Amino acid sequence: MKQVRSIGKNKKGFATIEVLIAFVILILCIGAVIMVVFGNQSVAIDNETNNEAIMKAQKMLEDARAEAKEDFNITEIVANPADFFPSSLDVLTISECAKKLTSEVTWGGPFRPLEIVFSTIVTNLDTVALLSYCDPISPGDWDEPEPYGDISPSVIDGQGTGVAVAYINGIRYAFLTTDASNPVQDNFYVIDTTTSPEVIDASDIYSIKVEDGLEGIATAKIDGNYYAFVVTDHDDAGQLQVVDISVPTSPTLIPTASTTIPNVTPGESAPPLSIFYYNEKIYIGTEYLAFGDPGFNHEFHVFDVSNPSSLPWPRWETSIDIDRNVNDIFVKGDTAYLATGQGSSPYTPLQVVDLPTESVVNSFSTGINKPGTAVFVLGDTLYFGTESGASGDDFYIFDINDLDPELSANSLDGSTTEVGDIFVQGQYAFIGLQGAGAQDTFQVWNIGDPEVPERVDTVCPSGFPLELNGLVFIENYIMASFRSYTPFRIIYNDATSCP
């Protein structure tokens, strides 16, 4: 039988295969090493780029903080899209004493977009001293507002006519005025809302009797003490009354501070409609008064309240003839913004008064006879409410430097209503309506784009008490007064379920 034996060239073939396998392994190893090297280079470049973007965002924020320290009126949104690191600085005015600065830097292109965002809040203590109250807290989402439980009418008597807030000794207080149904009942209330805002107990409420017909309130800290200034329609008793609230659990009426609006034709009345505190002065608006002698029957009055120890206090300073009802007041700097109503022609529901010259320097007319009822200013933007009227529009937004035309005109309800009050905090306008249904009495509008504001809240079926005429934002709560027999409620957000 023939045997088959291996020959030498076959052994050479095996050697060749082994060499090829070795080359493949070597190439794979070199490829892996090269990939690791390039990967490390990519990580290093990414780290360097990231650090540069972080430093750029930080510098933008620090520059903005320094600018705000020099000039707190910083309002610009700065963008630099052409740079290798497109960047922007957004300034959100939270309140008159606080702004949120946000710097953003992007890089990486459309297939690998990257960004770094820094934000901080800057405050202005000088502004806080000018105002009765200023909250630096930015509001959260307000898409599901809901009122906390009711307070028994046996605890708070009458219908609400005004609300204010103050922090005193670390406690958050709300102050409420009412038009008491019983003339012997108290009508000035101090409410401790810190202990348990969800359930206000009778032990959290302190009250006194002032004069009948209370129509509004403003609080202030002056010379280390706290005061509540209230207006009443009683000419004989003095339309301006002052309550010492330095000890909130024991509010005290100051008889020597009772002040009557001067220079009114004998036999006529000057019922106050509005009150505002700014920079140690009290501003009061009254009903329209018919023409009288020169210097008489003015509707807008200014009182100096800077020195409580110097009588008379408050000290009447001056008055300005508006010739209309002064339904609401907002003062900023040397300018007073007035929501005005019935009176002489022309019908201008929004009037702007230059205080140093005591003259009306600007105005706005809706084109139809409907009164202005509420006004609020934040930054360079003015928010204005009216009766709804035939046009249906009752919420207007303006640039305070140019009232014509308005930035937007909006309908809040579409029925015969009027805006009871407006309070703006951050990106939201909180609005109270009178004459609206329970679903529309309280509304939240996103005014981030003032030319296209949008209502954002969804209200539970039970809704709110009717006739909301006063509201204040404090620590992400709304303290609200209602001209109804549910005179006071605390409104909060994020209701987990409707009752």
Q: What is the mean pLDDT of the chain?
A: 86
C-alpha dihedral sign at 482, 485, 487, 491: negative
Share of the chain above pLDDT 90, in %: 55
Q: Is the peptide bond before 346 cis (omega within 30 degrees of 0)?
A: yes
pLDDT band at 299 (very low <50, low <70, confident <90, very high): very high
Q: How many Å apart are CA 393 and CA 418, to the nearest integer?
A: 10
- What pLDDT score was predicted for residue 497? 63
Phi-psi category of residue 263: left, alpha or beta, with phi > 0 → left and psi -120 to 50 → alpha = left
Residue that wins the pLDDT comparison between 331 and 402: 331
Residue pair 472/489 in contact by the 8 Å Cβ criterion: no
Residue that wins the pLDDT comparison between 7 and 224: 224
Q: Is 406 exposed, middle or buried (0-12, 13-18, 19+ CB in 10 A)?
A: buried
Share of the chain above pLDDT 70, in %: 87
> CB 26: neighbour CB atoms within 10 A?
10
- What pLDDT score was predicted for residue 127? 83
- What pLDDT score was predicted for residue 301? 97
Residue that wins the pLDDT comparison between 178 and 200: 178
**Does residue 55 have a pLDDT over 60?**
yes
Q: Enumerate the β-bridge partners of residue 229.
A: 218, 242
Q: How many Å apart are CA 113 and CA 268, to the nearest integer?
A: 71
Residue 130 corresponds to which tokens in the numbers above? 């000018």
Lowest mean pLDDT among 48-52, 145-149, 369-373, 383-387: 48-52
- What pLDDT score was predicted for residue 64? 85
3-state secondary structure the chain: CCCCCCCHHHHHHHHHHHHHHHHHHHHHHHHHHHHHHHHHHHHHHHHHHHHHHHHHHHHHHHHHHHHHHHCCCCCCCEEECCCCCCEEEEEEEEECCEEEEEEEEEECCCCCCEEEEEEEEEECHHHHHHECCCCCCCCCCCCCCEECCCCCCCCCCCEEEEEEEEEECCEEEEEEEEECCCCCCCCEEEEECCCCCCCCCHHHEEEECCCCCEEEEEEEEECCEEEEEEEECCCCCCCEEEEECCCCCCCEECHHHCECCCCCCCCCCCCEEEEEEECCEEEEEECCCCCCCCCCCCCEEEEECCCCCCCCCCEEEEEECCCEEEEEEEEECCEEEEEEEEECCCCCCEEEEECCCCEEEEEECCCCCCCEEEEEEECCEEEEEEECCCCCCCEEEEECCECCCCCEEECCCCCCCEEEEEEEECCEEEEEEECCCCCCCEEEEECCCCCCCEECCCCCCCCCCCCEEEEEEECCEEEEEECCCCCEEEEECCCCCCC
C-alpha dihedral sign at 487, 490, 493, 497: negative
Phi-psi category of residue 463: left, alpha or beta, with phi > 0 → left and psi -120 to 50 → alpha = left
Q: How many Å apart are CA 15 and CA 23, to the nearest integer?
A: 12
Q: How many Å apart are CA 61 and CA 477, to the nearest integer?
A: 29
Residue that wins the pLDDT comparison between 429 and 124: 429
418, 351, 428: which is closest to 385 by C-alpha? Answer: 418
**Does residue 35 have a pLDDT over 50?**
no
- What pLDDT score was predicted for residue 393? 87
Domain layout of the chain by residue ranges: 34-124, 131-492
> CB 358: neighbour CB atoms within 10 A?
14
Rounded CA Rg of the chain? 32
**Does residue 51 have a pLDDT over 80?**
yes
pLDDT band at 43 (very low <50, low <70, confident <90, very high): very low
pLDDT band at 247 (very low <50, low <70, confident <90, very high): very high
- What pLDDT score was predicted for residue 474? 95
Phi-psi category of residue 491: left, alpha or beta, with phi > 0 → left and psi -120 to 50 → alpha = beta
- What pLDDT score was predicted for residue 44? 53
**Does residue 483 have a pLDDT over 60?**
yes
- Note the pLDDT tens digit of each residue in 249-262: 999 999 999 999 99
pLDDT band at 79 (very low <50, low <70, confident <90, very high): low
Residue pair 336/356 in contact by the 8 Å Cβ criterion: no
pTM: 0.87
pLDDT band at 32 (very low <50, low <70, confident <90, very high): very low
Residue pair 403/424 in contact by the 8 Å Cβ criterion: no
- What pLDDT score was predicted for residue 82? 60
- What pLDDT score was predicted for residue 391? 63
Residue that wins the pLDDT comparison between 324 and 152: 324
421, 398, 405: which is closest to 483 by C-alpha? Answer: 421
pLDDT band at 150 (very low <50, low <70, confident <90, very high): confident
- What pLDDT score was predicted for residue 365? 87
State the average pLDDT over residues 403-413: 88
- What pLDDT score was predicted for residue 5? 38
> CB 238: neighbour CB atoms within 10 A?
17
Residue pair 380/75 in contact by the 8 Å Cβ criterion: yes
Lowest mean pLDDT among 3-7, 112-116, 412-416: 3-7
Tell me how many degrees the CA angle 244-279-68 measures, rounded to the nearest 5. 130
- Note the pLDDT tens digit of each residue in 424-447: 999 999 999 999 999 999 999 999
- What pLDDT score was predicted for residue 291? 80
Specify the fold of 131-492.
Methylamine Dehydrogenase; Chain H (2.130.10)
State the average pLDDT over residues 89-97: 90
- What pLDDT score was predicted for residue 11? 47
pLDDT band at 21 (very low <50, low <70, confident <90, very high): low
392, 430, 426, 428: which is closest to 410 by C-alpha? Answer: 392
- Note the pLDDT tens digit of each residue in 443-471: 999 999 999 999 998 888 888 999 999 99
pLDDT band at 1 (very low <50, low <70, confident <90, very high): very low
Q: Is 1 exposed, middle or buried (0-12, 13-18, 19+ CB in 10 A)?
A: exposed
- What pLDDT score was predicted for residue 18? 58
Lowest mean pLDDT among 116-130, 168-182, 282-296, 306-320: 116-130
pLDDT band at 204 (very low <50, low <70, confident <90, very high): very high
